[in-house]
Structure 1
Amino acid sequence: MNPCEKYHARGRKPWKLMLQIIKIAIITAQLVTFGLSSQMVATFKEQNLVTFRHLFLKGYLDGGMESYALYRQEDVYDHIEYVLTQYGRLRNITVGNHAYDKTGALYRPLTLCQEYYRNGTIYAGNETFEIDAQLDTFCLEISPMLVSIKITFVLKAINLETVRHRELPDCYDFNILILFNNQAHSGRIKVDLDTDVEVNECRDWRVTGATATNPYFLALFDVLIILTCISSLALCTRSVLNGIQLQFDYTVFCKDQRGEDAPWSDRLEFVNGWYILIILSDTLTIIGSILKLSIQAKVLSSYDVCSIFLGLGTMFVWMGVLRYMGYFRKAAFPNVIRFLCCAGIIYLSYCFCGWIVLGPYHEKQQQNAPPTSQLHKFMLACEDLPDSGVYRIKEKPNCFLNCCIPRCREYRERLINELQ
């Protein structure tokens, strides 16, 4: 019997149904709050990566890492010197709150090391070569058989954007690696800059003029979700075990009374797949909530892993509601309405999961992202609010292809002249 039939027949209250409704509400709220925080973290990391490329890569242009390479020895030395100079002048050139990392009272030094073949000679004219494939690492000396040069250093930054969202700021350690890659020895040294980010709790902070959300409240909210999921997990596990026990009794009954084994199709009727789906969603949500607590305590910084667990857990718990769509009689709840409700639930579950897992890294979510192409720049120049009326043709209100003529025409002509 379903919960409605049990209530009318035995007076048993549908505890599991009420628990699932409460769980959907609090899990969705948890997902939204964590998704907003994850989006700010991903945006801050991406913006700092772009900033570091502009600060330490000479002549870098937005979106130009694929074609950013060096072809002359003089350029290699020049770019290495540029990195060292920019690192020394960081406090005077950056517009952010970047600072050097300290180990005790001393600053952590910048490290410049190169990898090169232990022994090797190449004669391209005679088409002969001799290479010892073993690599040695040495610092501050340039070898003729250069394979790669690595420049590593650590910078610190504070994400102040969280203050506007009533959250305490986080302190970041950016482990920056600049790699001059010459492994192919093709005459083209590929240059790349990448960062490994660590999120730490700020040691000493004071915020005035704004009220931050109490971190203990968020922790208690996560603990409440964990306890709710544990209760749901226990109730659904008990129902599954009761179904399995009833299946064994049915198998023994068929064997004793009919002298034949019960078919598997009949046995599977005693195992409720919806309960298994809810058990899976509870397990994922519990793991994700524990990871979220660890992130809030600055023990871990794995936002992506936590997003995957919370996203899948929320998706499965929304899909678990589909079980209750079959409890309404057709006369009171027509099939078309039931189908629309089921489709809407599935759509929402996928939306929540995709938003928290992939949303922070989507280009549209990267706030203040720089234009990456000439076409993008052209489209940005044509931006116009619907109600501003600055660049629209007022004489033809019915035309749906109105163009921001004055501004875009000048930009287009200038762009064509530059390309020619």
Structure 2
Amino acid sequence: MSHRSGNKELQFISSFGMLVDVSESPSDENLENLCNRESSRHSHGSHRTTHSQGRQRSTHSYERQRPSFVRGSSFYTPHMEDTLRRKLKFHFMTPCQKWTTKRRFPWKMIIQLLKIVLVTGQLVWFGYDRSSHVNFLIKSTVSFKHLFLQGWDPAYETLPYPAPLGIFAVYTIDDFYLKLNHAWKMYNEVWPNSIGSFTPNAKNHTFPPMYLCKTFFRDGWVNPRNGSYSFHKKPVEECIALTKSDCEFWNNTTNSTEYSYDIKVYLQKINKTIDFDSLVKMEFKFSVRSVHLKNFDLGRNEAECFDFNITILLDNSAYSGQMPVTLDADANPFTCDEEDEINDTEDDISLTFIVYDIIVIIFSVTSTILCSRSLYRAQRLRSDTVMFFKKQRGIEMTLDDRMQFLNLWFIMIIINDIITVIGSIFKIVLALITVDLYEMCGLTLGTGSLLVWFGVLRYLNFFEKYNILIITMKRSFPDVLRYLICALIIYAGFTFCGWVVLGPYHVKFRTISAASECLFSLVNGDDMFVTFSVITGNDNVYIWYYSRAFLYIFISVFIYIILSLFIAVITNVYDIVKHYYQHGGFPETDLSKFINETDEDHTSPQFRIEDNGGCDLSRLFKCCCRRQNPDDPDEYSSLVKSRTTN
């Protein structure tokens, strides 16, 4: 018999094995009546063969007098509390402890470790393939620049900073026409002399023309003498086709057909002119085909076919007297026509990699299912725990305790699996269909590999030495985030100020992005002297003094103050975590106090006794074939079994 002080409700257990709820304390008369009914029931049961009618009347009489037996909504037996406590303790165990406790095989851990090997191997092979693909496109573009741009120098192919040469541009009208004439001539004559496997994109076996497109203002003129000008508001574009026959002529001296590639003469011949005052830009457009043979060093003979849509641009939009010259080659893949017999070995290798990608997809989907199941079970356990604390102990679980049931590692692994599956599908499509998905495939596979390696930290978290570092990052994240927001506000102010004031005079501040990158490099101590020395006193004396003050203040504030405080925030959290480890652990919460009310550890046999046989993969057959014994007790069984009459 148990009396609860919270709602003053009496709950006791009769010999029927039922809980009796009475709103007030029972009197002696009530207890005596209950005992008499118990004795009457046993007495009539012993004479049931000779007094059947009397037994029926007594039974009906008893049922009319029988009180209502209901389970209290807020009642938890000690066995139920211990069961919940063990569930919580098991939930927060490491995979090795779970194996020791209930022989639960750590499938998620094994799958994550195998995923690291599979995804990394997949990424390495794709990296070699994509590197070959991108290198071919880049080097082909460089080849086109050497072929079609007069005066192109290898020094222009180096990194943009520090630039060994200036901008590749034209400054005179004669040089402008020389660039156009050279491109026209090379397009018609360079193919037999080119080392690369390039050819014009001929259709119906006819040599395709190249197109000269001019973008200009109609009725535009400029008079620098008196500072007057007139322009139509909207520029227009005109294109003309240039064929080889347009420049041919008969040489009477040699009695042969020769070619004169002169754009200026040809434009006069068709009554066209170029007015540089109204000219916005001039473009040469043509198409070239090429075949890329790759992966010979890996024992695979593969080919890719491309259509390069080449555009040579002479940009006069700035009207500064400098007309930059650029070449852009847009590659479009198409299916190659293979005339030789199909290489069975190559097809077998391709099929092997497709099967490999399918295996990666299967492992990723399995990982997603297992992690989703763990998240769902954790939320169910959280709901049961919140209800227990509310009903049994009259307290609400804190947000920190509730968040203990939300495993962010599993969420990251699920996101990683989804990204990896998408990347693997892209890779399979690349192997089966001629389509340019290298960039999307690289982004997804690279991000997936990054996250799958991050997932290893979850298992390092089970070791104390590594756990200190991971907990430090976790606990310092809110403080670091708030600190970075404040630092970002100051950083944005310096970025916009440097872009506006120093941008016209400093190559590192020409754009907002460049200004931000320059300041971030200064925070890390990179290239400081060059940043100071780019602006000289010859440019503008006021800007020179301002640039010095600007850079000195920025470097002092961010390196000596903000960066030092940032390190101090993380160091302070690390010292706190280390102190807790050295002095008995972290302060206990309501959840941890409830779990630690028992001294049982993961070696306790009670865990395996209460195991209801979760259907994991290692016990699938046993789980499916097992039948639950209805006589086995559980947490919902009555505390006192009813007596059986023989």
What interval of TM-score do these two structures reach, taking the shorter chain for normalisation?
A: 0.7 to 0.9
Deviation at 1:80, TM superposition (A): 0.9
Asked whether the equivalents of residues 163 and 210 of structure 1 are also in contact (C-alpha less than 8 Å), the reply is no
Q: Which one of 400, 409, 415 corresponds to residue 274 of structure 1?
A: 409
Q: Which one of 324, 329, 335 corresponds to residue 190 of structure 1?
A: 324
With over 3 angstroms needed to count, the CA separation of the structure-2 counterparts of 1:192 and 1:142, relative to structure 1, is farther
2:171 is the alignment partner of 1:37: no
Asked whether the equivalents of residues 284 and 310 of structure 1 are also in contact (C-alpha less than 8 Å), the reply is yes
Asked whether the equivalents of residues 460 and 467 of structure 2 are also in contact (C-alpha less than 8 Å), the reply is no
Asked whether the equivalents of residues 199 and 298 of structure 1 are also in contact (C-alpha less than 8 Å), the reply is no
Q: Which one of 181, 187, 197 corresponds to residue 315 of structure 2?
A: 181
SS at match of 1:86: helix
Asked whether the equivalents of residues 168 and 324 of structure 2 are also in contact (C-alpha less than 8 Å), the reply is yes
- CA distance in structure 2 between the aligned counterparts of 1:228 and 1:101, rounded to whole angstroms: 45
2:442 is the alignment partner of 1:311: no
With over 3 angstroms needed to count, the CA separation of the structure-2 counterparts of 1:2 and 1:153, relative to structure 1, is same
SS at match of 1:115: strand
- CA distance in structure 2 between the aligned counterparts of 1:54 and 1:229, rounded to whole angstroms: 47
- Specify the code of the residue in structure 2 equivalent to 1:78: L
1:100-111 pair list within 5 angstroms: 100-103=200-203, 105-111=205-211
1:159-174 pair list within 5 angstroms: 159-165=292-298, 166-174=300-308
Asked whether the equivalents of residues 335 and 434 of structure 2 are also in contact (C-alpha less than 8 Å), the reply is no
With over 3 angstroms needed to count, the CA separation of the structure-2 counterparts of 1:44 and 1:207, relative to structure 1, is farther
1:150-165 pair list within 5 angstroms: 150-165=283-298
SS at match of 2:226: coil
Deviations 1:2-26 (A, max 9, x none): 2212222212211112211221111
Residue 22 of structure 1 aligns with which residue?
Answer: 114
1:267-416 pair list within 5 angstroms: 267-327=402-462, 335=465
Asked whether the equivalents of residues 121 and 131 of structure 1 are also in contact (C-alpha less than 8 Å), the reply is yes
Q: Which one of 242, 266, 274 corresponds to residue 143 of structure 1?
A: 274
SS at match of 1:214: helix
Residue 355 of structure 1 aligns with which residue?
Answer: none
- Specify the code of the residue in structure 2 equivalent to 1:13: F
SS at match of 1:139: strand
Deviations 1:156-206 (A, max 9, x none): 111223233215111122111100111122222111001112233322154
Unaligned runs of 5+ in 2: 1-92, 158-165, 241-271, 470-646
- CA distance in structure 1 between the aligned counterparts of 2:344 and 2:138, rounded to whole angstroms: 26
Q: How many residues align?
A: 335
2:144 is the alignment partner of 1:52: yes
SS at match of 1:274: helix
- Specify the code of the residue in structure 2 equivalent to 1:146: L
TM-score normalised per structure 1 = 0.74
Which structure has the larger Rg? 2
Deviations 1:314-358 (A, max 9, x none): 111112122222445x7xxxx38998xxxxxxxxxxxxxxxxxxx
With over 3 angstroms needed to count, the CA separation of the structure-2 counterparts of 1:97 and 1:45, relative to structure 1, is same
Deviation at 1:106, TM superposition (A): 4.5
- Specify the code of the residue in structure 1 equivalent to 2:288: L
- CA distance in structure 1 between the aligned counterparts of 2:114 and 2:417, rounded to whole angstroms: 13
- CA distance in structure 1 between the aligned counterparts of 2:128 and 2:197, rounded to whole angstroms: 23
Deviation at 1:292, TM superposition (A): 1.6
Residue 154 of structure 2 aligns with which residue?
Answer: 62
- CA distance in structure 1 between the aligned counterparts of 2:206 and 2:99, rounded to whole angstroms: 71
Residue 200 of structure 1 aligns with which residue?
Answer: 334
- CA distance in structure 1 between the aligned counterparts of 2:424 and 2:201, rounded to whole angstroms: 32
Asked whether the equivalents of residues 100 and 156 of structure 1 are also in contact (C-alpha less than 8 Å), the reply is yes
2:171 is the alignment partner of 1:71: yes
Residue 114 of structure 1 aligns with which residue?
Answer: 214
- CA distance in structure 1 between the aligned counterparts of 2:220 and 2:455, rounded to whole angstroms: 64
Deviation at 1:252, TM superposition (A): 2.8
SS at match of 1:133: coil
Deviation at 1:210, TM superposition (A): 11
**Sequence identity (%):** 31
SS at match of 2:455: helix
Deviates more, 1:181-190 or 1:211-220: 211-220
Asked whether the equivalents of residues 148 and 180 of structure 1 are also in contact (C-alpha less than 8 Å), the reply is yes
- Specify the code of the residue in structure 1 equivalent to 2:418: T
Q: Which one of 213, 224, 230 corresponds to residue 124 of structure 1?
A: 224
Asked whether the equivalents of residues 309 and 331 of structure 2 are also in contact (C-alpha less than 8 Å), the reply is yes
Asked whether the equivalents of residues 136 and 292 of structure 2 are also in contact (C-alpha less than 8 Å), the reply is yes
- CA RMSD for the aligned pairs? 2.6
- Specify the code of the residue in structure 1 equivalent to 2:332: E
2:214 is the alignment partner of 1:81: no
Asked whether the equivalents of residues 98 and 155 of structure 1 are also in contact (C-alpha less than 8 Å), the reply is yes
SS at match of 1:63: helix
- Specify the code of the residue in structure 2 equivalent to 1:143: I
Asked whether the equivalents of residues 291 and 300 of structure 1 are also in contact (C-alpha less than 8 Å), the reply is no
TM-score normalised per structure 2 = 0.49
- CA distance in structure 2 between the aligned counterparts of 1:70 and 1:21, rounded to whole angstroms: 58
- CA distance in structure 2 between the aligned counterparts of 1:132 and 1:104, rounded to whole angstroms: 41
